[in-house]
Amino acid sequence: MSDAAFEVVQDLTPALGSELRVDREALLSGRVAADIRRLLDERLVLSFRAIGLSPEEQVRFASTLGPIGNQDRGGILQVSQNPDVNPDAEVADYQRASLTWHFDGFYGGIPDYATMLNARVLPETGGETHVANAVMAFADLPADEQEYLETLWVVHDVESAMRSVYPWPTHAQLQTWQKSGQRLFPLVWRTKSGRKSLLLGHSASHVRGMSLPAGRTLLCRLCEWVTQPRYVYTHSWQMGDLLLWDNAGSLHKASPYPETSRRLMDRTALLGDNGWEGRSSYFFTAEDDASV
């Protein structure tokens, strides 16, 4: 795919990821938005090297692709685990869990359609972003296992995500996390187009209807399967880079970096518009009817 405004420079791995060269005006005007969405669906991760978008341009570009989140923050969520850098100390604390595999948007009851990350300040070491192809990983499972997994539902919550950072939390921390409640998702996420992916990660607490040991063993095995090197693209950041990935079709995480680092990313979420079996929003609390 190549024209004067839009060019695929290279595929980044056989499994996922393409680097693009795009004319800035075409990008911001939305003229290539349909091409970008089509390629995102196919390759899951798109890299725009050293494009250097301002926060305002980032939001403008994201808006050409669909409705965006973080509207109360001007469309931008600042991603840093350092409270001296992040203006929101609670968000900074939550960002510490970004070093383990996850997807964005579970708290809202539907995965975000895509995530856009823009490098503002880079750490001296570490901080790479890894994205795993949960679509291909599911497709590579035996057909009988795929059929079985499509019958399962998984409970997700903030407590499970934060225990990856604080294995021995305080009583106050537990109370805060548990106020967020729980969400119930199908283990296999199905989009309007029929594509299927494994919805896993650090927010997954347990499989509904299975014993805790059996369910958690299954989730652990599947997460290891999805995050095999053959399914993963690792982005080593340069200043001005913009990375866009299909959030519902993948898992992602950051590499560890010094906690004192001033690493700062601007994140824009593209809201879920391709939900399970075509629903625009679908979630349950864990206490809802067991007939789901």
| Whole-angstrom distance, CA of residue 206 vs CA of residue 215 | 6
Is residue 260 packed enough to be buried (19+ CB in 10 Å), middle (13-18) or exposed (0-12)?
Answer: exposed
> Average pLDDT, stretch 140-159?
97
Can you give the pTM of this predicted structure? 0.91
| Whole-angstrom distance, CA of residue 246 vs CA of residue 230 | 18
Q: Tell me the one-letter amino acid at 107.
A: Y
β-sheet bridge partners, residue 253: 130
Residue 283: pLDDT over 70: no
Element (H, E) at 42: helix 33-43
Answer whether 33's CB lies under 8 Å from 60's CB.
Answer: no
> Average pLDDT, stretch 87-114?
86
pLDDT digit string (tens) for 74-86?
A: 899 888 888 888 7
Residue 3: pLDDT over 70: no
| Whole-angstrom distance, CA of residue 55 vs CA of residue 67 | 16
Answer whether 70's CB lies under 8 Å from 144's CB.
Answer: no
Which has more pLDDT, 176 or 95? 176
Q: Using alpha carbons, select from 50, 62, 59, 54 the residue that is nearest to residue 21.
A: 50
β-sheet bridge partners, residue 10: 19
Is the Cα torsion angle 98, 101, 104, 110 positive or negative in sign? negative
Q: pLDDT-based confidence at 106, cuts 50/70/90?
A: confident
Q: What are the residue boundaries of the structural domains of the chain, listed by start?
A: 6-274
pLDDT digit string (tens) for 156-208?
A: 999 999 998 899 999 999 999 999 899 999 999 998 778 999 999 999 999 99
β-sheet bridge partners, residue 182: 157
Q: Tell me the one-letter amino acid at 145.
A: E
| Whole-angstrom distance, CA of residue 119 vs CA of residue 267 | 9
In 3-97, beta strands by DSSP E: 6-11, 18-22, 45-48, 77-79
> Average pLDDT, stretch 90-109?
86
pLDDT digit string (tens) for 22-56?
A: 999 999 999 999 999 999 999 999 999 999 999 99
pLDDT given at position 1: 47
pLDDT digit string (tens) for 208-227?
A: 999 999 999 999 999 999 99
pLDDT digit string (tens) for 228-277?
A: 999 999 999 999 999 999 999 999 999 999 988 889 999 999 998 655 45
pLDDT given at position 93: 83
pLDDT digit string (tens) for 115-126?
A: 999 999 999 999
6-274 CATH: 3.60.130.10
Q: Using alpha carbons, select from 247, 246, 265 the residue that is nearest to residue 255.
A: 265
pLDDT given at position 275: 53
Answer whether 161's CB lies under 8 Å from 168's CB.
Answer: no
pLDDT given at position 4: 65
